[in-house]
Structure 1
Amino acid sequence: MSADLLSPPPHLPPAAALRLSQEAPRVLGNSSSKSLPYPFSLLYAAESPETWIRYENLLLACLRTGDDRSARLCLERLAERFGDPNQRVKALRGLYQEAVAPDNNALEAILKSYEKEIKDDPANMPIRKRRIALLKSMSKVPDAIAALVELLDVSPTDVEAWSELADLYLTQKLYPQAVFSMEEVLLITPNAWNAHARMGELLYISAISTTNNDGGTTRILSESIKRFCRSIELCENYLRGYYGLNLVESSYWQ
């Protein structure tokens, strides 16, 4: 299997995703599927952890490029290996169902199935995150925010969840809540230069979007400058930090 399928870039460009998905016939053809059900299939398959990482990445690439048949075959291989009750397999199956859903009614049905899964197993984090992603894609942002808050009550150190919550608050123009959420990110990852830059951006947007007659705008812009400077201190060639610093200083002296 291709090395690219083992560790693809976090955000594949369309051409790269298409190239990876085109490997599906070869990958699926070279590895025969076991007819025995889980867990007996574990006893007979020659495998390594990388094998299943590649299958998952191939599934995602196929869904992006519309190769639903190959994606389904990848999903079946994963289900045969780990079993349908596996939380990650359930989340991937939900992702596949979302991708092939013909209309909004089908998405609503998938959403209800997620809610049932969470009710049966509140600790199923992959399904919780799929539900949040689906709510967001259906433009149900307040519901997605509520679901994220529930998730963080269960897992308060989930950096990705706090970061996503900050972004959703920002879309609703809830600037103090967005800043608070990003502060939680920095408490968990204090040396993440991109998180400091993102905090600087949130503070800058908050300052220029609200009217403060008591010097509040100046204070927020000053804090924004500090955050961008910290991001540059942690990564001296971080262009986003320099650009943000220039943007805030231009507004500061206007």
Structure 2
Amino acid sequence: MKIFLHVCCAPDLILAHNKLREKNIEYTAFFYNPNIFPLDEYPKRYDAFLKLKDMWNFEEIKTEYNHNDFLENIRNNDIKDLKKRCYACMYFRMKKAVIKAKELGYTHFSTTLLSSPRKSHDDIKKIADELSNEYGVKFYYENFRSNNAISEGAKFGKAHNIYRQVYCGCEFSLKEAEDLRIKSFEKRKKRLFEKLNFNFEHLLNKDLLRIPEDLYPKYLYKYGIDILKDLKPKIILIRKDIAKDFNIKNGRNKIGNWKAKIIIV
């Protein structure tokens, strides 16, 4: 079987591709995402998609990028309501894919939106059922993100330098992501203010944090290594005896829901 696959982004395509390949299902890719904003973000995501195309040699149906199409589509929706706005956006893109699939004679369609941990499968299936009934193209459903697929897909993307976006796509989600980042940053600072009795702001998001040179070990012994999660350095250089006390090993260490790259000296 060969399906018509709407592709929302390269990282989600990695998951879908792996699941479909396991079942020997071929696909034609349709990268249709007029929601992407700003203009210079679109080529970053499309180029990542083309990189996978070069690797896997799948067929692509090209389409034009026109952000005004997206804005016109959501004009009559409550853009401040995240659920309603995202539903309208998914419906718009999936509808375009179904129409194109029918035009080209495909019997089945699907979408890589099923790979995203932030998208509701119930909403996607509801949209798909409505479109299937209207256009007579069957929906192929599979949970592309099952069985640790997200983690494995992220490893593959990192290994092959596949661009991974930090927000969904549109200007509204961009602002929401930035607002969330600022709130998270302020919460981190507040927790650190309660624990550190010196000016630590120059240590936040530092490329290299040295322990004990930059951060005295007494803070780790008093508050635990979770304090590193709030400082969020890219690399931590830590003395061997201190690392041993906290069972820290060379390489990637998981601290809560954050992974730190640690070098023991």
Shared fold (TM-score, shorter chain, > 0.5)? no
TM-score by length of 2: 0.23
Q: Greater helix share, 1 or 2?
A: 1
Q: Which has the higher contact order (CA 8 A, sep 6+)?
A: 2
Q: Greater strand share, 1 or 2?
A: 2
